[in-house]
Structure 1
């Protein structure tokens, strides 16, 4: 039997929850500029599936890669790490 590849996981902050059963998660990473050496913030947005509509804006969440669920949605919510204050 073939083994599945390890699924990718990301941790980010919910920036939008206006869609039904979907959230937008932003992941921020600091990358060193190749020429100048300054650390620059880069933001990547992921559309993730939230079955229970439980997330709110500002929550820190963990998402996991899954099969494509729509044109732009191929991540699903695993857990809410920290609620927004």
Structure 2
């Protein structure tokens, strides 16, 4: 039978094991640690150089590969100008009823695919919108902007639709494209 190890041999083997474990744990950083051993109250000095951390087992916390911080995860500095948030829901529609005070009923038409036939079908929905100045009449096109609920059914504000820029060139402008293809007619060829 083997004899049990003496207390001095146990302390030495524990010191060797702790040295090995600590050298593995702290091998990725340059550190100097002062560790105390509770068995013999001895202190040791551990210095390790900066080395890349390599794991013997790639399954760390259930992951298939060790975590590597990506360069893309570093956030860029915030811009000096505050960007406009365009996540607010805006809809466009036609006013169908304007008899209530400070309220207009707006019909919004959208195209959606038919669930069975997959053809795009017009879907209409009415919204109650807040019109504080009573400026909209039946038939006006308005833009609905979502805001704080004014009442149970009114969460949109009616706003005039911004004017679209027209790109039609005027005839008297220089540099306007010629009307037609630029090919002379047969009647014009005979005259020449």
TM-score interval, smaller chain? 0.7 to 0.9
Aligned length: 79
Q: Is the 8 A contact 1:60 1:81 kept in 2?
A: no
Q: CA deviation at 1:80?
A: 4.4
Where 1:64 maps in the other structure, the secondary structure is strand
Which residue, 2, 14, 37 being the options, matches 2:118? Answer: 37
Structure 1, 37-46 or 62-71: larger mean CA deviation? 37-46
Gap change, CA 1:77 and 1:12, over 3 Å in 2: same
Which residue, 102, 124, 138 being the options, matches 1:21? Answer: 102
Give the structure with the larger helix fraction: 2
Structure 1, 37-46 or 57-66: larger mean CA deviation? 37-46
Match of 1:46 in 2: 127
Which residue, 59, 62, 66 being the options, matches 2:143? Answer: 62
Unpaired runs of 5+ in structure 2? 1-84, 164-192
- Bigger relative contact order, structure 1 or 2 (CA pairs below 8 A, ≥6 apart): 1
Match of 1:11 in 2: 92
Q: CA deviation at 1:63?
A: 1.3
Q: Normalising to structure 2: TM-score of the pair? A: 0.38
Match of 2:189 in 1: none
For residues 19-39 of structure 1, what are the alpha-carbon distances to aligned partners after superposition, in whole Å with 9 as ceiling and x for unaligned? 000001111112121221232
For residues 14-59 of structure 1, what are the alpha-carbon distances to aligned partners after superposition, in whole Å with 9 as ceiling and x for unaligned? 0100100000111111212122123221111111010110100010
Match of 2:154 in 1: 73
In 2, the alpha carbon distance for the partners of 1:80 and 1:33 equals 29
Structure 1, 34-43 or 66-75: larger mean CA deviation? 34-43
